[in-house]
Amino acid sequence: MVLAARFHKAEDILSRLDYSELLGLKKTCSQIQAAQRAILERGVSYMNHCAVVCRGLCCRNMKVMEIISLYDFILLLVMAPEFKYKIAKQVRLARVLHTADCVFLENGRGPCLFPVDLKPERCIASFCFETQLIRRDLIRLRTSFNRLIFSLRWYRWRRFGLVLLKKIGLIRAAAG
């Protein structure tokens, strides 16, 4: 239920953005994707460890509501809008099935439904061992996600301020 609410809220937030806000958001999301690519390139040995030794254990026996945030859905919808219906289907499935495995695993086993270089923050940045080689890339990823969160909050407050200024008459409504 929480996952569906986050997904629908992400859709709602994106539908309210104007063109310039959407462009700014896309730029920030591109920085997140670039950071994820850098982690994948420099962290090949870490990813191999996850695939071979752990065999995707972090995708099983987990609570997906604690892993995937509202901002992850916004990232996915901005950068990969073609996945919208696939994500919506899996979110609906999560309402019915109360599985311990991630609902975004294809056929409940894997691989992940999300693009390789476009995953939720915790999925790409959480390791069960020391990650010295990609420390800077992880910091860049987290900084970019924080920028995404700040941007969305800024857009909301800016819109609120404009509405307020129009109501008190300091800004005239555009004639149209």
Pick from 7-16, 46-55, 63-72: least confident: 46-55
120/72 Cα distance (integer angstroms): 5
Calculate the alpha carbon distances from 129 to 126, 135, 141 in Å. Answer: 9, 12, 18
Q: Which residue type occupies 163? A: V
Model confidence at 23, pLDDT cuts 50, 70, 90, reads very high
Predicted model pTM? 0.81
Task: Give the mean model confidence (pLDDT) for residues 1-8.
Answer: 86
34/135 Cα distance (integer angstroms): 15
Contact 6, 70 (CB under 8 A): yes
Model confidence at 111, pLDDT cuts 50, 70, 90, reads confident
Output phi, psi for 164, to 5 deg.
-65, -45
Per-position b or e across 136-167, b if 16+ CB within 10 A of its CB? ebbebbeebbebbeebbeebeeeeeeeeeeee
**Chain mean pLDDT for the chain:** 83
Model confidence at 107, pLDDT cuts 50, 70, 90, reads confident
Write down the pLDDT at residue 172. 65
